[in-house]
Copies of this chain bind each other. A is one copy, B any other.
Amino acid sequence: MSKSAISKAERIKARRAREEVNIFARMPAAYAASRSQAAKFLQRAGGLSVVEWRVLWDLSEAGPLSIREMASIQRVDHSQLSRALPGMRRKGFVTMERDEADGRQMNVALTEAGRAAYDKTAPIMKKRREGLRRAFSAEELEQFAGFFDRLEEFLRQPVEDLLAEEKTP
């Protein structure tokens, strides 16, 4: 009954196959799945949000930090932290104080409750990373990270430059 020589199912399959090797198309899905898995682990571990977990982890590993410093470590926009931190202070996880030497900066530090939340969550999240290391060898993870480095470098190139470049000969 199909009007076209190629069936709809085949067209979909072909389209899906092409998208499979399109890195740009793969990233949103992989990222979404990762975030979703992280949320599930965090739910198990006590109910922190992803942003909260990252903050506690950074503060716990690197000591008191300013918002900018955390944003740089996490490679996210500072606004995300600006928004999340007041809630974390309300929950008693962190203290925020204006820096004495530089009145623009906020010093964000872990409280005892914050440390406790970290200690409760960390072993579960460690299991997650261990799981990943069963799925990928150390060399592969390094290679994967290297791909991300190069991808980010490409993504940072100004759009004009990319549009101007000649087609590869």
Interface residue ranges, A against B (CB under 8 Å) = 4, 8, 11-12, 14-16, 18-38, 40-41, 44, 54, 58, 61-63, 65, 69, 72-76, 124, 127-136, 140-145, 147-148, 150-157, 159, 162-163, 165, 167-168
Contacts and interface: CB of A to CB of B under 8 A. Distances in A.
Contacts of A20: 145
B31 A156 contact: no
B62 A30 contact: no
A32 B76 CA distance: 9
Contact of A130 (B75, B140, B148, B167): B167
Contact of A124 (B26, B128, B163, B165): B163
B14 A159 contact: no
A31 B28 contact: yes
Contacts of A155: 30, 33-34, 36-37
B145 A62 contact: no
A27 B131 CA distance: 17
B129 A24 contact: yes
